[in-house]
Amino acid sequence: MRITLTHPFDLSPSEARDVQRLLRVQVEEAPPLRPEKVRLVLGTDVSYLRTDRLALAAAVCCSVPELSVVEQRASEGPLRFPYVPGLLSFRELPALIPALQAMECEPDVILADGQGVAHPYGIGLASHLGLIAGRPTIGCAKSVLVGEYEEPGPVRGDWTPLMYLGRRVGAALRTRTGVKPIFLSVGHRIDLESAIQVTLALTRGYRLPEPQRLAHLACEQLKRAHRANQVTGRSEPLLA
């Protein structure tokens, strides 16, 4: 898939903040996404080998509704940017971009670990990713960055809106009965209702939607392989 970069990533936190100011106006709203048009969904995740200041990324494309893996890519990159709440995309996207560029699939929706517009400046990781990928994205986080919400009902599918500055920026969604809710956030070119429906359709027996869970597992594998290579003294590229 094609990635369009309109700004550099080797920035200082304050420069990154300036970039967000310019990018936020490009995040688009969108009419309901027709569920039957969603045939491919991409899950993404990034993990770190803190000791090596290295970031490992994985992207897994799944078919819908089967949720079978269609394509899987991985990439890595040096960890240059610090973790600063609100600037996560500048820390994680650089490592993930090569994997996205290598992806042959053309996903209809992309899931990202983090927030979308439920962000202090309206441009969290998911929204930022949506802009450079030019596709609909959904922020899929395990906790909240900004906003308020009421505890959703106890059954799978129950949800409550995540409100921020008087806007509905996401939702606390119970993806499984009996587990803590996950926090969806509108990313780019998608509406909240569609994001909720799509996410539920992608969730099977785990708290996180399948593409996200698989991307996370892939990252764990990458880490293990990486450590193993280090011990063996080898340094071959991993996974396609």
Partner DNA sequence: GCGACAG
Partner DNA sequence: ATCTTGTCGC
Judged by CB under 7 A, the residue of 75, 89, 194, 203 near DNA is 89
Q: What is the b/e burial string over 76-115, where b = at least 16 CB atoms within 10 angstroms of the residue's CB?
A: bbebebeeeebbbbbbbbbbbbbbbeebebebbbbbbbbb
Return the residues of window 156-215 that contact DNA according to CB under 7 A: none
Judged by CB under 7 A, the residue of 33, 41, 46, 96 near DNA is 46
Cβ 178 vs Cβ 154: under 8 Å: yes
User: To 10 degrees, the CA torsion angle through 16, 17, 18, 20?
Assistant: 90
Quote the least distance from Cβ 111 to DNA, whole Å.
12
* Sign of the torsion formed by the C-alpha atoms of 210, 202, 59 and 127: negative
Please say which residue, 103 or 113, places its beta carbon nearer to DNA. Answer: 113
Quote the least distance from Cβ 234 to DNA, whole Å.
20
Q: Is there binding between residue 14 and DNA (CB under 7 A)?
A: no
Q: 29: which 2 tokens? A: 């709203």
Judged by CB under 7 A, the residue of 60, 126, 162, 218 near DNA is 126
Shortest CA distance to 184 belongs to which of 171, 194, 197, 175?
A: 171
Judged by CB under 7 A, the residue of 83, 148, 204, 206 near DNA is 83
Please say which residue, 14 or 68, places its beta carbon nearer to DNA. Answer: 14
Residues in contact with DNA by CB under 7 A are 45-51, 83, 85-89, 113-115, 119, 124-126, 139, 141-145, 219, 223
